[in-house]
Amino acid sequence: MESEDVLTRFRRMGALLDGHFRLSSGLHSPSYLQCALVLQHPEEAESLGRALAECLASLASGHLDPTAVLSPALGGLIIGHEVARALGVRAIFAERAEGTLTLRRGFDLAVRDRVVVVEDVLTTGLSTRETMSVARATGATVVAACAIINRSGSQSPVDVPFAALTAINPPTYQPDACPLCALGVPVVKPGSRRTESGRG
C-alpha cells in the first residue's frame, strides 16, 4: 500500500479534513485526522492491518517472530486486532486504570512473548512508549512498534524498529498566533460538526 493511497482513502472517508480546527490539545490546525472514520469499515481496517503486517515483516527481514500484538485502548484496538489477524498472533490491549496504562481482563504476557505495539496514530510517541513499558514490565520483549499514520516528524520515534503506512506533519498554532483566526475563518471543534461561534 503506497503512502499516497492511505491519505487518499482517509480523505475520501472524511477522516483527514482540511479547514480550521481546534484540536483536543487546544492548538489550532488546518488539518484534522480521525482514524475511526476509516476503521469503522471492517474491510478497510483489515486491509490496513495487512499492509502494516507487511511493513513489519520487511522491517526485520522477517525475523520479528511476533507472538502477540499489544495496543493502547481505545485508538489502537481495531488496528491492533487487524495487524494481529494478519500476523497470526493474539491481540490484547492495555487500558487506563486510575491514570496508569495497565493490562486488565486477565490479559497477560510472558517472558517468552515477542510483542508488537500497534497504534492508530503516533503523535508524540508517548502512548506507544507507555504501552511498550507495559509489555516490558511483564518481562516480554518488544520487537517492533507501528502505526497507520506517523505524525511525529521522526522516522524512528521509539527505541525499537518502527513502521507506519504514511507520515503527515500538519502545522499547529497557538490560538493567538493562528493565521486562520487572523483571516477570520471560523474554527471547528472536530467531532462537533459546528463552528465555535455557534452554540456552546
Residues that bind Zn ion in the complex, under the rule CB under 5 A: 28, 178, 180-181, 187
The residue among 90, 200, 72 whose CA lies nearest residue 147 is 72
Beta carbon of residue 42, minimum distance to Zn ion (angstroms, whole number): 36
42-59 vs 3-12: helix crossing angle, rounded to 10: 160
25 vs 58, beta carbon nearer Zn ion:
25
17 vs 180, beta carbon nearer Zn ion:
180
Beta carbon of residue 174, minimum distance to Zn ion (angstroms, whole number): 9
Beta carbon of residue 181, minimum distance to Zn ion (angstroms, whole number): 4
Cα–Cα distance, 137 to 122 (Å, whole number): 21
Cα–Cα distance, 169 to 153 (Å, whole number): 6
Beta carbon of residue 199, minimum distance to Zn ion (angstroms, whole number): 19
42 vs 171, beta carbon nearer Zn ion:
171
Question: C-alpha grid cell for residue 131?
Answer: 504501552
The residue among 173, 169, 167 whose CA lies nearest residue 185 is 173
161 vs 190, beta carbon nearer Zn ion:
190
